Structure 1
Amino acid sequence: MKKKTIYLILGVMAVAIVIGSRIYASNRMSSTGTLGDEIISVGNVSEKKEDKKESTKSGQHNKKSSVQKAEAKEPQKTETAVTSSGTPKEKTQEQTDTYPKLHSNKKVHLYASGTARIGDTAYEQYSYVESIAKTYASVVDKMNKNLNKKSKLYSCIVPTSAGITVPDNKKTKIKSGDQQKAIQKIVKKYKGDQTVISLYDTFMKHRDEYIYFRTDHHWTPLGAFYAYIEFCNAKGIRANNILQYKKKTFKGFKGTFYRDTNNNKTLRADNIQTFYPLSGKKISMYYKTVQGQKIHAPLIDNVSRYGESLKYCAFISGDNPLTVIKNKAIKDGSSCVVVKESFGNVFVPYLADHYQNVYVIDYRYWSGKLSSFVQKKKVQDVILLNNISMTRNSYLVSKLGGIAG
């Protein structure tokens, strides 16, 4: 091949990379973009009028009651909740007997979007749907069976804030189902030998921490960190110490609840505190768009200039059909696939320190068969991570079933 031809090809490739990077940056800084929305309307509930006499006092935490700490306690204040090994501190018998108590003097406001607001924090109402839950369980069993024991399947259902951080004295008023019982029902339907990662008890022990956003239906990086610890425990590996991570905070995030409460000004904007993998510059990432374009991007991006509704895109550049993360510091051929919806985005970066290759499949946009992909890439672990609201969404369960082969 002539030198001129080689230079021409290299030039075209360089231009394509530059253009792709500019499109990536432009899309992220705009006020629109793609972020998966798993919220489901649970009925036409009229918004209640604002109560002008709504209490604004912040009660002090004591043995009998507390203001909802999830409203105020920021991530940096929770670092004492873990030991030097990165695992939660052992609690005394008295502490483990009961979960932290949460109390609020604010009124509950219900919206037609299926959202409940208590003061500066909103929640997605949840309802268990037996028929869809049954289908979901069968899809997970099918996925596990088709892996044919060549890869180990870890199945995790993430509770949402409505099941964890709602103040105890407001639980009946937000009109949301019991997520603990719902998860137990789904898990009992499993017939395979997949490893189940349970989060409910762990999250309840940390319910007075900043583990869910106030204005958005997702969990925070701290919430995902506690899930990461549970995964490491299940896999039998040592989790990183939260104190080791380099951190950066991005302010001014207003997520899906802000929209679903008609941009209610009472909601307090969230902070996103990111935890950067210890492997640092040894980690690289690219993703493929729905159109098939390959774009290189940071595993955790600087979203300070992004639109206020897009700051959750800090993690793996949001939702894309396929994302590939490589760690040059690891040479053992280890690999995993995370099969997820948008809840998985903030969880994935923690895995980058433990695998040479991390593949991320968003089943809402990816077309293919998981078993074939796993066999081709010689993947050891498959991590299926869904928030509980997904398990009552027939469309999403169908999409997951489509790749389960």
Structure 2
Amino acid sequence: MNKNMIISTIATLLIAGCASTDLEKESVSSIKGGKQEEVSKNTIAEKSGSIITLGDRAVEIFYGNEGNAERYTNAISSTKQALGDQVEVYNMVVPSSVEFALPQKYQNMSKSQKPVIDKIYDNLDSKVKTVDAYKALEKHKNEYIYFNTDHHWTSLGAYYAYEQFAKEAGFQAKSLNEFKKYSKKDFLGTLYTQTQDTKLKENADVVDYYKIPVDYDVFRYEKGKEDTPVSSTLYADYVDGVNAYSLFLHGDFPMIKIQNNDSDNGKKLVVVKESYGNAFVPFLIPHYDEIYVVDSRYYNSSLKKLVNEQEVKEVLFINNIFAANTEKIVKTIEEIQ
């Protein structure tokens, strides 16, 4: 814990007579080196702005926004209506780590995400297929599916969501042991950057990623050069430390095209995503001839035009719960239709 946080904690305890709802002692669990471990019985849950630290792990508080969630629902529904019955549209809203990390006595520190996700799914156009990532992640909530020091999920969390998508899309998911795993150590992510908490620094993350066992080519379309494909790779193996999450797809670009040279099944997919999608997309490669990865925050063209020109029959929207409740991001989804 940094010095300012220590002072803030002591002051709060004195003022509240040690009865603050934000600062209570509770036994919680943490992930160290990808393994679940019990931490001290005296661990204190501390709130610092929009972040809660639980010992040597941090999570981001979810407040939600009903109006933005409704706009998100309407944007997905209107996209389905615009694309018509010939294109299957899927929607996946991914819960964040705070949903599963908080012990029971701290539940009131963050809004429950499941009712928000359920409402989005319930109000979608009936022809949109929903992917229940929540159920898949909840089942594995004690595994290393989210980072300790960053707001993203891990590749393992993305894998469990991929299994759920496979069920909805009608193909057999690959077993995790069919992929060769690589790792980057000493990753300190956004939550550490914001708090500078020394306990988080001592519990740095490991970024695992999996090499896909097919022959494929990757092309990215950069900002301001959306008409010019640049030969790329799936992973930026050279990144390290604080930039380690950007090894997935080399980060965020308006569009990335992945061509599977070992497949001839005629299947093409567009994935509309924010950064959570980066760790998810690689698992899809064995199942499609072509995948077009569109980041709605940077894409300046028409989704319908892309789908029609490339004769795509499947579109997947994958967004974390914060993105689906954030006006700025929801607006970008509305604008690419």
Q: TM-score range by the shorter chain?
A: 0.7 to 0.9
Shift of 1:48: 6.3
Map 1:3-402 to 2 at 5 A: 49=7, 67-69=28-30, 71-72=31-32, 74=34, 105-112=42-49, 114-172=50-108, 175-261=109-195, 263-267=196-200, 268-279=203-214, 282-292=215-225, 294-303=229-238, 306-402=239-335
- Checking the alignment, whether the CA contact within 8 Å between 1:66 and 1:104 is kept in structure 2 is yes
Give the Cα–Cα distance (whole angstroms) in 2 for the partners of residues 332 and 204 of structure 1. Answer: 33
- Checking the alignment, whether the CA contact within 8 Å between 1:102 and 1:208 is kept in structure 2 is no
Aligned length: 314
Give the Cα–Cα distance (whole angstroms) in 2 for the partners of residues 170 and 73 of structure 1. Answer: 25
Give the Cα–Cα distance (whole angstroms) in 2 for the partners of residues 318 and 256 of structure 1. Answer: 15
Shift of 1:116: 1.1
Shift of 1:73: 6.0
Gaps of 5+ in 1: 1-45, 53-64, 79-100
Shift of 1:166: 2.5
- Structure 1 vs Structure 2: percent identity of aligned residues? 30
Inter-CA distance 273–104: structure 2 relative to 1 (3 Å threshold): farther
* 1:372-397 CA-partner distances (Å, limit 9, x unpaired): 11010011210100000012211111
Gaps of 5+ in 2: 11-25
Shift of 1:265: 1.5
Secondary structure of 1:345's partner?
helix
Give the Cα–Cα distance (whole angstroms) in 2 for the partners of residues 388 and 103 of structure 1. Answer: 30
Shift of 1:169: 3.8
Shift of 1:134: 1.1
Shift of 1:187: 1.6
Secondary structure of 1:178's partner?
coil
* TM-score normalised by L of structure 1: 0.73
Give the Cα–Cα distance (whole angstroms) in 1 for the partners of residues 164 and 320 of structure 2. Answer: 16
- Checking the alignment, whether the CA contact within 8 Å between 1:102 and 1:167 is kept in structure 2 is no
Inter-CA distance 186–49: structure 2 relative to 1 (3 Å threshold): farther
Give the Cα–Cα distance (whole angstroms) in 2 for the partners of residues 193 and 347 of structure 1. Answer: 24
Give the Cα–Cα distance (whole angstroms) in 1 for the partners of residues 42 and 248 of structure 2. Answer: 34
Shift of 1:297: 1.9
Q: Which amino acid aligns with 1:253?
A: F
Give the CA RMSD over aligned residues.
2.2
- Checking the alignment, whether the CA contact within 8 Å between 1:144 and 1:192 is kept in structure 2 is no
Give the Cα–Cα distance (whole angstroms) in 1 for the partners of residues 265 and 140 of structure 2. Answer: 35
Partner residue in 2 for 1:18? none
Give the Cα–Cα distance (whole angstroms) in 2 for the partners of residues 104 and 369 of structure 1. Answer: 53
- Checking the alignment, whether the CA contact within 8 Å between 1:132 and 1:394 is kept in structure 2 is yes
Shift of 1:313: 1.3
- Checking the alignment, whether the CA contact within 8 Å between 1:73 and 1:209 is kept in structure 2 is no
> If you compute each CA radius of gyration, which structure gives the higher value, 1 or 2?
1
1 or 2, which has the higher strand percentage?
A: 2
Give the Cα–Cα distance (whole angstroms) in 1 for the partners of residues 258 and 103 of structure 2. Answer: 39
